[in-house]
Amino acid sequence: MNMRLIWRTLDRGVLRDSALICLAMSVVGISYGAVAVSSGLPVWLPVVLAVVVLAGSAELLFAGIVAAGGSPIAAVVAGLVINARHVPYGLALPDVLGSGRRRLVGAHVINDESVAMTFAQKDPALRKQAYWVTGIGVLVFWPLGALTGAVLGAILGDTDVLGLDAVFPALLTALAVPALRSRARWAAVAAGVAIALATTPFLPAGVSVLLALLGVAPTLLRTGRRQ
């Protein structure tokens, strides 16, 4: 399915869900931009990061480490560790990324929201629609939210008081739950959560998230034996 056909046959459900995600991301972006500027970063930096990095968790972690007095180098390393999860994302989505120049753009718009929306679809055509519509939508609305937050940061003050920091994890949870259609997936999630909770107090930020991927190991081993 080429890109023109994807946009011409756009499913209303995919468009609605993607629009809600983009709205939520713009709200989180406002919080991110405000926190980044209040921590001493220049107004332009969170906006540039939002376009170039395009990974909310890594950017929020970067701003949080800098705000807590950590070095920018440590913040960058932590962001790279968190973003390492994009590697298995890309390996799991060869059918939607396309080829050539389109693949470069497709790789850039890999994020938690576009991947979760893709996995929630059963039909191959809807998978491609969900990925590209959500990915490009986040590419537009996340930087816009960051810009708004950066400009209005001084007015908003402490964004945690407004509860905006809770929007991001709530959004990811809502996206992930529909994809858990089997006991094996629930078991993998439970194992990953247990690993993350057990290791978070002892490991640097981001490392426990990567270790949580080990939760899929038992499921993969069982699947391999059956095959």
Expressed in angstroms, the distance from the first to the final Cα of the chain is 31
Q: Report pLDDT digits (tens) over 127-169.
A: 889 999 999 999 999 999 999 988 887 676 665 666 655 665 6
Integer CA distances (angstroms), 49 to 10, 56, 70, 75, in order: 30, 9, 18, 13
CA distance 166 to 100: 38
User: Which uninterrupted H or E stretch holds 125?
Assistant: helix 124-156
Q: Are 113 and 134 in contact (CB under 8 A)?
A: yes
pTM for this structure? 0.70
Residue 136 has what pLDDT? 93
Helices 124-156 and 112-119, packing angle to 10 deg: 150
Residues of the chain with pLDDT below 70 are 1-8, 68-70, 154, 156-172, 174-176, 178-179, 204-207, 209-210, 219-227
List b or e across 156-170, with b for residues whose CB sees 16 or more CB atoms inside 10 angstroms.
Answer: beebeeeebbebbee
pLDDT digits (tens, 9 = 90+) for 112-132: 889 989 988 888 888 889 999
d(CA 147, CA 34): 9
What is the predicted pLDDT for the residue at 205? 57
**Token duo for residue 22:** 């983009």
DSSP states along 76-111: HHHHHHHHTTHHHHHHH-HHHH-STHHHHHHHHT--
